[in-house]
Chain A
Amino acid sequence: MLQTYEYKEFPFAPSADQQSGKTVRRPVVVLGGGPVGLTAALDCAIHGIPVVVINQGMTVSIGSRAVCYAKRALEVWDRLGAAQPMVDKGVVWKIGKVFRGDRQVYQFDLLPEADHKTPAFINLQQYYLEDYLIQRCQALGIEIRWQEKGISLHQRDDHVLLRLETPAGVYDLECDWLIAADGARSFTRKALGLDFLGQVFQDRFLIADVVMKANFPPERWFWFNPPFHPNQSVLLHMQADDVWRIDFQLGWDADPEEEKKPERVIPRLKAMLGENTEFELEWVSVYTFQCRRLDKFNHGRVLFVGDSAHQVSPFGARGANSGVQDTDNLIWKLKLVMDGKAPPALLDSYSEERVLAAKENIGHSTCSTDFITPKSPISRAFRDAVLDLAETCPFARRLVNSGRLSTPTTYVESSLNTPDTDPFTGQMIPGAPCADAPITTDGRHGWLLNRLGNHFVGLYFPPAEGMAADTARAFAALADAPVPVETIVVGRDLVDARGLLGQRYDGKPGTYYLIRPDQHVCARMRQFDAERVRAAVDRATCRQ
């Protein structure tokens, strides 16, 4: 098969820990070097936490695997200084079309609001994504131990003991905290004997990555019952380097080994693309999927992130994207707990908030799957009725579900939020991920989100009469507090030249937002009140 990407091999090199012959204690070990594990490691490094990544493989993802990366994940990677090469290399898209037979029945536009730094979605092969994350890890001096894997794990009161197998034999490693990013078949989860319950979907899908010069636009195309693949569905996505992802629904009875063979795959592609389209296969895989999750994501000193904690169907791009939001939520909390500035209960809020997000993602994913893979004759009858009606009745088009695409979770009910006491309009409610907005600083164009994150920030829209002297003193005190709050004063530290910041945050003069290190709103008020801000910080860090 053709290769548009050259896989680098990362050699095994025995670590100093292994060579020492002693059991070394590390602050944080990340088990798993996929997109979520690498992101966790980057976030640790940004927060000044020494971190080691244990990676079973010797190179990046084999095959394109996760392809669609959503705005919020890109914003997190931008906070970690890793997003630019992804956006440069990836295919930006926002239109999705749904066909039935050869007729279009529905079209959606992710309608990204203009004037945000990151696009709504990019498509990028997972190997590129991991490559860029590894480069960023290397730039930050993060140690990645290749070709090492966990073979046993013991949880102690104040640490985790890991036994790792390497090409040079076995060694033991202790860590204060273990971040389990070891995927859907998580070794850690099994070692702790945790249930991973949910729903198995009885269907199989064939992924073919095809290299071709094609005239399809950079859009997501989804077919129900197309003439070239009757009674099943097909999904098409453009990736970088003229690689196209084509996903064929096969049904439960398909033989995965047979279906992977080029002599089976090529005729399916020719039926779709026409006899005369020249293409080469780059990667083929057959998969099934499940929607399931752990009951809670923190277990003592073991913290589960990504697929090891929750699994969804691929329709909706809610796997890697939600995993990145897990680490976004987790690492700042872990840092405060490690520094003794917040109680371990703060890590319960990680589980609380991200279990809720996982429920939301599994809910969407299950709905999509019920539509794509109806589980009973009546379920199929309703699905077909929706598609029948969609051609003439606008209401039915809204019911067509070929995957509802990943959006960030708003932690509406989170115990870390300080409920509003003043009236506000707009989207920026406590728990919401901050909307981006264009700003200028010293006459240079920039973005709000690049000014937020990694620590608590107070975003202040000063009153028309200007800032009172005691307000300035209160800001200084907040900056010196054990959990410091940096204040950004609109008009002083940045300029809302186009008024979009004020508009998106309903920023009437006097308004103050308290923003968490993961760029989620946790409190807001119409008038700055130092006492309320301090209480909101305590609440957001479980210090009260």
Chain B
Amino acid sequence: MKLNIEPNLDRPDDVYEMLIDAYRDLSDEQVQKMSARLILLLVNHIGDPEALAEALCIARADMTA
């Protein structure tokens, strides 16, 4: 497994709060825009297609389409 799913944040509650704060008061359309940019920035930062594939798999686990 290339993706780290063990705790990796010193102050998890602060990071969570940061995320919620960043999205505060945005319209649905803005949320989608923001998320798309954020995902691209993080995907590039991680720079590992295998880890990405694993993350995508977990994120989609309970969805069928």
Which A residues contact B (CB, under 8 angstroms)?
377-378, 381-382, 384-386, 388-389, 393, 395-396, 399
Q: Mark B26-65, 1 if CB is under 8 A from A, else 0.
A: 0000001101110111001000000000000000000000
A395: chain B residues at CB < 8 Å are: 44
**Chain A contact residues: helix, strand, loop or mixed:** helix
Pairs A-B, 8 closest by C-beta atoms: A385-B36, A381-B36, A395-B44, A385-B37, A381-B32, A382-B36, A385-B40, A389-B37
Cβ contact within 8 Å between A381 and B40: no
B39: chain A residues at CB < 8 Å are: 382, 385
B36: chain A residues at CB < 8 Å are: 378, 381-382, 384-385
A393: chain B residues at CB < 8 Å are: 41, 44
B41: chain A residues at CB < 8 Å are: 389, 393
A386: chain B residues at CB < 8 Å are: 40
Give Cα distance in the complex from A336 to B36, angstroms: 55
A385: chain B residues at CB < 8 Å are: 33, 36-37, 39-40
CB distance from B47 to the nearest CB of A (A): 9
B35: chain A residues at CB < 8 Å are: 381
Give Cα distance in the complex from A377 to B37, angstroms: 14
Which B residues contact A (CB, under 8 angstroms)?
32-33, 35-37, 39-41, 44
Give Cα distance in the complex from A395 to B39, angstroms: 13
Give Cα distance in the complex from A396 to B41, angstroms: 8
Give Cα distance in the complex from A385 to B44, angstroms: 13
A399: chain B residues at CB < 8 Å are: 40
Cβ contact within 8 Å between B33 and A389: no
B44: chain A residues at CB < 8 Å are: 393, 395-396
A377 nearest in chain B by CB position: B32
B40: chain A residues at CB < 8 Å are: 382, 385-386, 389, 396, 399
Give Cα distance in the complex from A384 to B29, angstroms: 12
CB distance from A78 to the nearest CB of B (A): 39
Give Cα distance in the complex from A389 to B42, angstroms: 12
Give Cα distance in the complex from A384 to B41, angstroms: 13
B36 nearest in chain A by CB position: A385
Give Cα distance in the complex from A419 to B59, angstroms: 41
Give Cα distance in the complex from A395 to B43, angstroms: 10
B34 nearest in chain A by CB position: A385
A384: chain B residues at CB < 8 Å are: 33, 36
B37 nearest in chain A by CB position: A385
Q: A378-B32, A385-B40, A395-B44 are in contact. List 8 more A-B contacts (CB 8 A).
A: A378-B36, A381-B32, A381-B35, A381-B36, A382-B36, A385-B36, A388-B33, A393-B44
A379 nearest in chain B by CB position: B36
B45 nearest in chain A by CB position: A395
